[in-house]
Amino acid sequence: MTAMLAHSITPLHGPLFQAGQQVTEAEERREQQISVLSAFAQDSPARIYAEHVLSEIERTIALSRMNQKLIESLLA
């Protein structure tokens, strides 16, 4: 049964593809958040919160890239 599962995972749904997709989606969220930031006045509570969200998105991108590199090295 394990062999069947391994063969049923296509490259389009494999872990490396999924990791790349996560990076791409997080980068898109970052661009959206940057756009949101521009709508708020400097030092306003809304902007401060939006900047916090942006920093969390940046952190997510970094972690997603590390995950992608780890998967690449494991598959090499």
User: What digits encode the pLDDT tens for the residues 17-57?
Assistant: 999 999 999 999 999 999 999 999 999 999 999 999 999 99
Residue 6 has pLDDT above 60, yes or no: no
Give the long-range contacts of residues 20-28, CB within 8 A, separation 24 or more.
20/68, 22/64, 22/67, 22/68, 23/61, 23/64, 23/65, 23/68, 26/57, 26/60, 26/61, 26/64, 27/61
CB 23 within 8 A of CB 64: yes
The pLDDT assigned to 76 comes to 82
The pLDDT assigned to 75 comes to 86
The pLDDT assigned to 1 comes to 41
Residue 8 has pLDDT above 80, yes or no: no
Q: How many CA atoms lie within 13 A of 66 on its CB side?
A: 6
Q: Where are the domains of the chain?
A: 13-75
The pLDDT assigned to 68 comes to 95
